[in-house]
Structure 1
Amino acid sequence: MHLIALTICLSLVLSCTATISGPYLLWGHEKVNKLQPEALVEASTKELPLMQLFKDAKAIVIFVRNSTNRLEGTKYPRFQNLVKTNAWSYLPQRNLAAEPFNYNANIEVINLSGHNEEDDAELLTSYNDALSIYGNGEVLGILASREEDAHYLAKRDAKGEEELKPTGATTETEETEASFIYVAEGNKAVLHVTGPPELRLGNEVILLEEHTKQTTFDDQHAKGYGRLSISFRYNGDKCMLRFKFSLSRGTWHLRNVEVEYKEYKDVLVARGDEYTLPSAPLGFSYRCSANNLTFINPNKNETLRSLHLVDYQVQPWLNGGKQFGDVYDCVGFVTAPILAGLFVVTLLIGILGLGITAMLSMHTPNRFESSRNKQLTFTVQE
């Protein structure tokens, strides 16, 4: 039990990257127990157990997170119980001898939000969903860490701060740009605003003018949602916005955004109605000309917090396109001018109907007078 908690604590986590990195926590398949840390052996000897494991598993679920905080078993009770009730193994190395992507076609990569309760539920739910499809003991779960973060931490452990920065050299910072077009890697989603997003935290107003180029879109089309993550820099501190899109019956909806800045982390809900909240069919973008979008915290007992987008256009599931799709706007089909037009048309149709009915009710006489008919005369006496 103590060893399981220790391995969970030591497992670093990653955000969105194509290559996973260690340390690794593997569970779920019976052959996981055969994986043990090995040293001073040939590379081919290390590859064989992993290759066989990846091939024998009917499906592999890889979990990654948007944070580098250590995992504690007390904060992830459901995940800890999941690992405890399955075969598991902990691999402390940075890289695997064999990549799972080369030996199994049924691989799902799930990016976790970084919130303890949400991640704990997502780990259990997603893994159980895979079990319901492929069966118990047939699904391999992997918790890994981000390659860039692991590499950076390894350098800091190996060298001191002064050794990493030569004399007279400037400190490297994340590359940022002051633009208001946010395109996810691979052109998977895009958000465009005419002004910087405005974040209000109580009395503090933050204009998010500079964003890093680490804009990603977590495509969970099969589960009915996607998440556009945009990273900003404000006074040297990192601010992350994660716009969550839901997908239902071929139509996407934007209903909330997760905000993470310093110690503050909350989910803000979009304010509006069915015509002003962003939604459109897949392949279409949404734009409400000259209108803004505001996200607020739904709890009235807390200090008002909000995110404000100015004159925006958005489209998830862009699927590599280089421009917005056809635009859906916030103009509903039933408006006052349309209702007035329908009323006038109905009135004219009613008048026309009455006229036609009156004409059809007219009949010609069926009797006419002739000279053969006897005339009736009257005599008036005085």
Structure 2
Amino acid sequence: MQLILVATLLCLIIGSCSASISGPFIFWGHSRVSSQQTQALVESSSRELPLTQLFTEAKAIVVFVRNTTNRLEGTRYPKFQNLVKSGAWTYLPQRSLAAEPFGLNANIEVVSLSGHGEEDDSEILLAYNEAVNTYGRGEVLGILGSREEEAHFLAKREAAPGGEEEEKAKAAEGSEETEASFIYVAEGNKAVLSLNGPLELRVTNDTLKLEEHIKQITFDDQRAKGYGRLSITFMHSGEKCTLRFKFSLIRGSWTLRNVEVEYRELKSVLVARGDEYTLPSAPLGFSYRCSAESVNFLNPARNETIQSLLLSDFQVQPWLNGRPEYGEVYDCIGFVSAPILAGLFVVTLLLGILGLGISAMLSMHTPNRFESSRSKQLTFTVQE
């Protein structure tokens, strides 16, 4: 029985040592990480030696594995950002390392991150500080990488009973926090907005095309107060841009009137250009569809950084009330259009011609006297 247990442990150790993590990487904490730079034009043996020395000289190594390779934002990981900047650190953009720490250090710990910003930020700080308290400051090497295969989870950090299942469930989910699409459905199917292209946010001397957005979309239902807000947070070049579309509810009909924009540290309210006949609106329970025209949200204040937002070829419906599909559609094309105007003009012209003809016919009168051979008088001419 003991031999079986030892063999099982050896298999786990071999499996964890043979595991690999994917880049890019961030190294921090140890004094020698500053000498680790990207070396692309040297032999692999020359690149392997500095890493091997770093892994063996560190008293302990904590490897944090992310479930995604998306850009790491400092605003979402403020604790980790302060932790890295407080000492020596380096960034290695390559996909793989010339030498991996597994098997080169006896005190190595692998922590699997769930993919949620606040939880991962606290998890990194907690696990690294525990290792520093045990082995001393400047002696613990921290490595942040991404998951490449499932094998490295064999040596992941021990958790309390019951917590291991939660970590496995989070790791199994592995869903990205953002996605690029043009269909935005609020949680619980409370509201929906769909487009055929990205939203265009105009700032000073630049136009941002908002494509990638955070999956968590909310709808603030304030029906008792006569409004609702559809909130969508986009990611553009690693920076958040939050749009809150405000719908007013009056006498059983909703209208999209403005949108609140938060970008960087700026906040503005952009007002939809139009009147009650041209703004997106429909009765409650109906959707609004417009492919022929665009809705332009403008900043009423001049000389502002955030200037306008363009919404084109879209369909929207607030207060969806959990339904999985749009309601009946109100289209933005009104009764009066160019073909209808042309038809009305031709009909008016024909009616005018007909009226003139009828008027001319009515103005004709028959003569009341007629000449005949009997009524003619004989005239004689006498010559002398």
TM, length-normalised to structure 2: 0.48
TM, length-normalised to structure 1: 0.48
Instruction: Select the structure of larger CA radius of gyration.
Output: 2
